[in-house]
Chain A
């Protein structure tokens, strides 16, 4: 599709002006709001607690953000297509059980492979129902979430499964950069962000994801195979869920069917706080990374300040509603 270029035009002076840095563009930059919120949160918490900006604490915040942070990348993709995924957390938890059980039977690499396969199949089921049957993603993933959660308990039989240290816990291994200690899980999370940032902003596939989310009719008329793009997004999200499952076992080497109950909602929270529109077609993984960090900083900071967990949930909830309200306001103004 990308070969039909028109005749090359001679270089003009206008194009260099058009790509030049512009202060007004910076103010329109959608990352600005979330970044300011993150900086304010860090300033407040570091003035309340002296240990907040300690390397150990910063490292802890990053490690605590890994699983939700990775899931939020998949969630960003789905929300960009104006969908929503209520099942990605449950898929990852199912993945951890599959990984732990199959590791006992066939070793760690079979375990990683079968987890990847299972998660991609779940992605294909969601994507198939959304594209082939044209069902709303909210309903589809609500259904698969309920079914997968039950299947997880059937598979695990209300037990937890310990995994042996090795390939499956590799993402929990820590290493030092100077005095700063972090894990390969954090690196993996950042890599997932980097890869998806590239795919969304530098490839035709990325443009098509935005187009399908922003204006499906225009996408079809432009010759984009919208349903195929949509399906690929759900498949990719399956892969991301498998990576999150791996990272989860790195963090706690124990596959627990009742773990990460809030991860799905927290991934949506991170995406929305990061400025990706629930109406699709605008936002990106950069914002989601900031959103993930805001949630991580808020939880960690409030914990250090001695605020009860339930109050933290209230604070996160308020933040989500504010973020959606800002998005709604921005959309109305642009129309």
Chain B
């Protein structure tokens, strides 16, 4: 499953700082994502999870600190830079255009043009290819949608999430970040999303999962990054810690071990 030299993290951040006026959203945070893993990022509201994730996704430019991807220093000025580096993000509000069809949404901002004069001079899109590939991407993730010509607004919440995840999986060569993917979903649909996360990991792409839902986190995560007061409080193994211990660590009622604090 490992696609890089074991030991070198796929995505790594050291000492990230981001201030908005007097508010410090990220206060010297570290982050480490290893090859082929699902890393859950949890933390109380206002702990700065979202700011950290936005910095990793290029949506926020940190004031200081350094980031490395597969050992190489990177700095993202916008989401386009991060996407070019192979980091795809599934946002909480999904970032899909309701009135557009599924295939168009999957390829939004990355449309494929026809070959030859039709594409180069007349800028004609290759819709048949995009539809075919979109169907394939949905099928790869076992997302049951009959037609990719349907508008996204005709889909259920879980299916919409599926479209957003399929888009990330189709283009995310390096890392897929998912922000609260099950927050707005019912039990059955949440289960489908958890399956999706597992099938993405099975394809060798590491996933960063931001979630409030402890049972989901424990079901799918290989390691859990606990964020507290704008910093990484520690990284724990869900196999050695219980859910209530993790919650205690998250709220500061319990202190992490030295190893956990170091993120080992």
The interface of chain A, by Cβ under 8 A from chain B, is: 1-2, 4-6, 8-12, 14-15, 17-19, 22, 25, 198, 202-205, 207-208, 210-211, 214-215, 217-224, 281-282, 334-335
Additional pairs, 4, CB under 8 Å, beyond known A8-B129, A334-B154: A1-B110, A14-B135, A19-B131, A223-B109
In the assembled complex, the Cα of A87 lies from the Cα of B128 at a distance in Å of: 39
- B232 proximity list for chain A (CB < 8 A): none
- A282 proximity list for chain B (CB < 8 A): 99
Instruction: Assess the A18–B148 pair: CB atoms within 8 A.
Output: yes
Instruction: Assess the B97–A219 pair: CB atoms within 8 A.
Output: yes
The interface of chain B, by Cβ under 8 A from chain A, is: 59, 79-80, 83, 89, 91, 93-100, 104, 108-113, 122-125, 127-129, 131-133, 135-137, 139, 146-149, 153-154, 170-171
Nearest B residue to A335, CB-CB: B153
In the assembled complex, the Cα of A268 lies from the Cα of B109 at a distance in Å of: 29
Nearest A residue to B57, CB-CB: A221
Instruction: Assess the B108–A217 pair: CB atoms within 8 A.
Output: no
State the Cβ distance, A250 to closest chain B Cβ, in Å. 28
In the assembled complex, the Cα of A197 lies from the Cα of B125 at a distance in Å of: 13
Instruction: Assess the A18–B149 pair: CB atoms within 8 A.
Output: yes
If the complex has contacts A8-B133, A19-B128, A204-B113, are A217 and B95 also in contact, measured as CB distance less than 8 A? yes
Instruction: Assess the A12–B135 pair: CB atoms within 8 A.
Output: yes
Instruction: Assess the B110–A202 pair: CB atoms within 8 A.
Output: no
If the complex has contacts A18-B147, A207-B104, A223-B79, are A202 and B94 also in contact, measured as CB distance less than 8 A? no
5 tightest A-B CB contacts, nearest first = A9-B136, A204-B111, A223-B109, A218-B95, A18-B147
Among candidates A4, A12, A22, A214, residue contacting B100 with C-beta atoms closer than 8 Å:
A214
In the assembled complex, the Cα of A1 lies from the Cα of B147 at a distance in Å of: 25
State the Cβ distance, B214 to closest chain A Cβ, in Å. 28
In the assembled complex, the Cα of A218 lies from the Cα of B109 at a distance in Å of: 10
In the assembled complex, the Cα of A132 lies from the Cα of B144 at a distance in Å of: 43
- B137 proximity list for chain A (CB < 8 A): 6, 9
List 6 A–B pairs whose Cβ atoms lie within 8 Å, in order of A's numbering.
A17-B146, A18-B146, A210-B97, A219-B108, A221-B59, A223-B109
Instruction: Assess the A203–B125 pair: CB atoms within 8 A.
Output: yes
- B95 proximity list for chain A (CB < 8 A): 215, 217-218, 221-222
- B99 proximity list for chain A (CB < 8 A): 210, 214, 281-282
State the Cβ distance, A326 to closest chain B Cβ, in Å. 16
